[in-house]
A and B are shown apart, each in its own frame.
Chain A
Amino acid sequence: ETGVTQSPTHLIKTRGQQVTLRCSSQSGHNTVSWYQQALGQGPQFIFQYYREEENGRGNFPPRFSGLQFPNYSSELNVNALELDDSALYLCASSAGTGVTDTQYFGPGTRLTVL
């Protein structure tokens, strides 16, 4: 059984560019959640996808968008990058959206915006 994987590991972009981050969920999981972890802070919830539909969104602007595919892998897209978007982006998968459905995190993608 493979765990949650994310690609790429590191990424450097310039302000105004667009970026796509990818996440492969753990086998048997149908739910993916994305979090942003700025340096020295706790992760902040961006959004969650359940069976290819968005299932809740945190306080992030519309230039943060996502997608979930039929195999339950997911993408996070960020348009018009800003310096403050520099952070570790974490993906977590779970077997469902209930409180008892533990989230399993990937190692993250570190995005640097110059």
Chain B
Amino acid sequence: AQSVTQLDSQVPVFEEAPVELRCNYSSSVSVYLFWYVQYPNQGLQLLLKYLSGSTLVKSINGFEAEFNKSQTSFHLRKPSVHISDTAEYFCAVTRAAGNKLTFGGGTRVLVKP
């Protein structure tokens, strides 16, 4: 069985400040890792994913995440947030056999002006 833990349920942050959202996973087999974002009243959108190769992956809107196998973590960071980054962020894993996702509980980011 696999599980995902997002250590912070809410993260308030000021505009243009950096933010880090923590994600740890547990699994007895190799996993693949994802971050999804859910804007208010919308469905989930894929932000970035780690499947293989470089452990540092980046999104087109300035987010990045680093896969750390020894610490079983996949933390999400952005050096400077905007008001429009206000959303809920979900870390998810899937096993090698397919794309069925196991999600963490989510981290709500509130960007303040």
Contacts and interface: CB of A to CB of B under 8 A. Distances in A.
Contacts of B41: 107
Interface in B1-43: 4, 6, 32, 36, 41-43
A73 B67 CA distance: 35
B74 interface: no
Interface residues of A, number: 30
Contact of B46 (A41, A58, A102, A106): A102
Nearest to B88: A42
B44 interface: yes
B45 interface: yes
A53 B44 CA distance: 24
B98 A42 contact: no
Interface string B58-92: 00000000000000000000000000000000101
B96 interface: yes
Interface string A26-61: 000001010100001111110010000001101000
Contact of A43 (B32, B44, B51): B44
Interface of B: 4, 6, 32, 36, 41-46, 49, 51, 90, 92, 94-106
Interface of A: 4, 31, 33, 35, 40-45, 48, 55-56, 58, 90, 92, 94, 96-108
